[in-house]
């Protein structure tokens, strides 16, 4: 079952695009711990958590490793900028295939107050200069029309 779920959540075409972008697993310098887990299986678990809304601690045992392993790897990948690189690679691939139509696009944004600040926040012009950020979403014509 684990292999079927991994293949469904991370199809071969996506994995071929993703695998070269993944940071290499580094074993613990002090030794010990468990054997390295297959990256594709861990990525599938991360996709499962992010798309299902499941809490990390409720990751099904059928994935074959602990929720802590999946969350730790997600954190490493986030720090390494994997999501940004993957997003760019997917856009490049879709663009090369002619599967993106930028002749018509929709842009949306929302100002969000930052509760604790952070390096990606700044003065919010619509909230009396309090710290905040403004995430943006851009959708091309083919996606927005479907």
7-25 pLDDT, tens digit each: 899 999 999 999 999 998 7
For the beta carbon of residue 82, count every other beta carbon within 10 angstroms: 19
pLDDT at 146: 43
pLDDT band at 40 (very low <50, low <70, confident <90, very high): very high
Question: Hey, what are 13's tokens?
Answer: 């075409």
Alpha helices in the chain (DSSP H): 2-9, 12-18, 39-52, 67-79, 82-97, 141-145
- What is the pTM (predicted TM-score) of this model? 0.70
**Dist CA 56 CA 110 (whole Å):** 27
pLDDT at 120: 66
Q: In whole angstroms, how far apart are CA 87 and each of 7, 45, 60, 94, 146?
A: 20, 18, 27, 11, 20
pLDDT at 21: 96
State the number of CA atoms in the 13 A half-sphere of 143 facing the CB.
Answer: 14
């Amino acid at each position: 079952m684990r292999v079927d779920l991994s293949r469904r959540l991370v199809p071969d075409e996506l994995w071929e695009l993703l695998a070269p972008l993944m940071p290499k697993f580094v074993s613990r310098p002090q030794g010990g711990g468990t054997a390295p887990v297959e990256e594709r299986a861990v990525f599938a678990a991360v996709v499962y958590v992010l798309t299902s809304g499941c809490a990390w601690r409720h990751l099904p045992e059928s994935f074959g490793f602990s929720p802590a392993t999946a969350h730790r790897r997600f954190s490493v990948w986030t720090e390494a900028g994997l999501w940004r690189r993957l997003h760019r690679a997917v856009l490049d691939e879709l663009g090369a295939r002619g599967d993106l139509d930028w002749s018509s696009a929709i842009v949306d944004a929302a100002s969000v107050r930052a509760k604790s600040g952070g390096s990606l926040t700044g003065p919010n012009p619509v909230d009396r200069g309090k710290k905040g950020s403004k995430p943006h979403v851009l959708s091309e014509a083919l996606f927005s029309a479907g």
